[in-house]
Amino acid sequence: MDGFYDDVIAVDGAEIAYSIGGSGPPVLLLHGFPQTRAMWQPIAMGLSARFTVVMADLRGYGASSVPGQAVPQDCAAYSFRAMGTDQLALMQRLGFERFHLVGHDRGARVAHRMALDAAERVESLTLMDIVPTHLLLSDLRCPVAKSYYHWFFLAQPHPFPERLIGADPDYFFESCLLGWGGAQLSDFAPEAIAAYRAAWRRPEVIFGMCQDYRAAIAHDLALDGADLGRKICCPSLVLYGEDGVMAREYDVAATWEGWLADMTVVALPGGHFFPDTAPEPTLRAIQAFLEGFEGAQ
């Protein structure tokens, strides 16, 4: 990607692959399932004119390392807290003590946990197409469970989901991309699809993604439950796909009222994967939010 370079940094317990480019205040972009940091390319290019943009692969995803393969029954290393600690260490190693934080899907859940655990590090928070993890799991609705069945399939003990997915990873993961809002494969940039396939065809990455979902139930539900009633005070932007499952099944803004003290909410065209399928409106929404901060160049 023009103007960006790729590297890997060793943090405590993992190696995190990232891309960095641009100039100005730092912004960290975190991808979701079943993607990699490649999802951000058009958005990152647009932001890089005024911001220093870091795109990172979560541990277990993309080109980042996949710890814990020797002890698959222990998924604690894939909690949102653990994955957030990776990203906080990455940004500190890059020299960014405070930064704007943007996440989609699993990346948004990691970002939410980072803002709770290290509020002093987060200048602003952007969450894309999620409702709080604790709400989704503690008040599970039948239509949500049907659409988001993968939460519970991927969380089954190793190696059950890994073996089934490994028989045809493209079929399984592309069915995920095409759900949750009715996208078509042609809606995704060919280079992004190529990057996703290259990652999810690797057995260790399939394992890492399953560990992520196992940890959500085994660890993150309790961690978020312990923080009920705590509000994140930094300015926060909530984006959601107007045709997605979250918009259909929830009042997305209302779900975040107990967590975010200073919140702006915007609906964007498309389903769950609107950063891939509608990158220009997504970029405009992020730019409008971030450029309101003092120091944007």
For residue 6, what are the β-bridge partners? 19
Q: Which residue has the tokens 């480019």?
A: 21
105 catalytic residue (yes or no) = yes
How far, in Å, CA of 179 to CA of 16, rounded?
28
57 catalytic residue (yes or no) = no
Alpha-carbon distances, residue 215 vs 39, 80, 162, 174, 196 (angstroms): 23, 8, 15, 23, 22
How far, in Å, CA of 264 to CA of 59, rounded?
29
Q: Which of 57, 86, 105, 129 is catalytic?
A: 105
Q: Which of 100, 112, 272, 276 is catalytic?
A: 272
Q: Could you tell me which of 99, 102, 98 has the C-alpha nearest to residue 126? A: 102
- Positions marked catalytic: 105, 272
